[in-house]
């Protein structure tokens, strides 16, 4: 039987895009949507058997609510979720924002995995129940039937920032992502605390949005206007770090001799970029699989241990 992963692969799109298209999400271009629907018909793929499942108490469907359409981080995470839920006999619906909130309010799913700060915490508290347990990955929220599985941002950032200081870097800047992001906030807090613990009271702070384009533009502007750069820049994610390094290389700033750069995520490009990027690795496929196992166990009323994604520093040439 064909799966949404088969449809996505043949249509040459991400799983999330395939799910959005099959749920008639208006953000998918018509040309792309038509291609995905044609592939689904060709493969005889049926998303969830919704009409049949309405007669039963269980829909055998999990809502996976992720902000944005993909990128290397979310793609790996979704692959892990999809593969594990297929093994467990569940379908997935991928959505975000208002569409995701509507699915939660309608309660036609057996559980939810949320990685979307656009979904209101009050709504999560309202819908979470024994019939609709919720796992959150993007905030801390203490509520019955809501389970947190969060990256150990503080510990990992402290370790990598300490490494930079021990390497002799004392003018260290931080390149933020989206300010409202829980992960961004925790990473920046840990960065500042680590500097203070080493009696470093000042640093440059660049405000980005987790994209390569934004960080490239900001650093390029700094260089063109002869603004001083720090000795090292800690970036809230790898895509930001790649944009920083693109700008530095364009203006012949040597990495790491003049400016060291480190990131967070260990996306595939990080090890192939020149110089290769020092970063923090989170195995997001493994995280997705374990979160799915955990949610299914909760739905089946089994006792579960909350899964904590493991991280490690990958030291490479950029620092």
Average pLDDT along the chain: 91
Q: pLDDT category, 160, cuts 50, 70, 90?
A: very high
What's this model's pTM, rounded to 2 decimal places?
0.80
Helices (H) and strands (E) counted in the chain, each on its own, are 13, 11
Report pLDDT digits (tens) over 212-251: 999 999 999 999 999 999 999 999 999 999 999 999 999 9
51-54 contact pairs (CB < 8 A, 24+): 54/108
Do 164 and 245 sit in the same domain of this protein? yes
Tell me the residue range of the domain where 87 lies. 48-148+284-310
Residue 21 domain-assigned (yes or no):
no
- Residue of 309 and 71 predicted with greater confidence: 309
Question: What number of other Cβ atoms are within 10 A of residue 193's Cβ?
Answer: 14
Token couple for 70? 């993909």
Residues 88 and 193 in one domain: no
Calculate mean pLDDT across residues 37-59: 67
DSSP string of 17-31, one letter each residue: HHHHHHTT-TTS-HH
Same-domain pairing of 243 and 174: yes
Same-domain status, 256 and 292: no
Shortest CA distance to 270 belongs to which of 80, 84, 76, 81? Answer: 76
Q: Which position has the token pair 């990685």?
A: 115
Beta bridge partners of 206: 175
36 in any annotated domain = no
Question: Residue 19 falls within a domain, yes or no?
Answer: no
The answer to whether residue 50 scores a pLDDT higher than 60 is no
Q: Are residues 141 and 173 in the same domain?
A: no
CA torsion sign for 94, 99, 100, 106 is: negative
The residue that leads in pLDDT, 66 or 244, is: 244
Range in 63-77, 261-275, 294-308 with the lowest mean pLDDT: 63-77
The whole-number pLDDT of residue 47 equals 60
Q: In this structure, what token pair is assigned to residue 117?
A: 């700060």
Kindly state whether residues 128 and 170 are assigned to the same domain. no
Pairwise pLDDT comparison (25 vs 284), residue with the higher score: 284
Residue 200 domain-assigned?
Answer: yes
What's the CATH number where 235 sits? 3.40.50.2300
Neighbours of 224 (CB within 10 A): 10
Into how many domains does the chain fold? 2
């Amino acid at each position: 039987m064909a799966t949404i992963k088969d449809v996505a692969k043949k249509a040459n799109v991400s799983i999330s895009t395939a799910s959005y298209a099959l749920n008639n999400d208006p953000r998918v271009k018509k040309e792309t949507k038509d291609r995905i629907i044609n592939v689904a018909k060709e493969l005889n793929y049926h998303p969830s058997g919704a009409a049949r499942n309405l007669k039963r108490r269980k829909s055998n469907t999990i809502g996976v609510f992720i902000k944005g359409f993909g990128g290397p981080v979310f793609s790996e995470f979704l692959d892990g979720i999809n593969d594990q839920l297929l093994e467990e006999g569940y379908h997935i619906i991928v959505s975000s924002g208002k569409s995701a909130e509507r699915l939660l309010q309608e309660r036609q799913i057996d559980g939810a995995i949320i990685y979307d700060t656009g979904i209101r915490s009050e709504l999560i508290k309202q819908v979470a129940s024994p019939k609709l347990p919720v796992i959150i990955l993007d905030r801390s929220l203490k509520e019955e039937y809501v389970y947190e599985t969060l990256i150990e941002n503080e510990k990992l950032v402290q370790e990598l920032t300490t490494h930079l200081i021990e390497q002799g870097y004392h003018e260290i800047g931080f390149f933020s992502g989206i300010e409202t992001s829980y992960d961004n906030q925790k990473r920046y807090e840990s960065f500042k605390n680590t500097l203070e613990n080493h009696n470093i009271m000042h640093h440059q702070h660049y405000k980005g949005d987790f994209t390569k384009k934004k960080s490239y533009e900001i650093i390029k502007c700094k260089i063109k206007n002869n603004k001083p750069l720090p000795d090292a820049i800690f970036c809230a994610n790898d895509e930001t770090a790649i944009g920083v390094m693109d700008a530095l290389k364009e203006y012949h700033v040597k990495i790491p001799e003049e400016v060291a750069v480190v990131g967070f995520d260990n996306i595939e490009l990080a090890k192939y970029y020149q110089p290769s990027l020092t970063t923090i690795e989170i195995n997001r496929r493994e995280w997705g699989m374990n979160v799915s196992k955990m949610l299914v166990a909760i739905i089946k009323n089994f006792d579960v241990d909350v899964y904590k994604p493991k991280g490690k520093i990958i030291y490479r040439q950029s620092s």
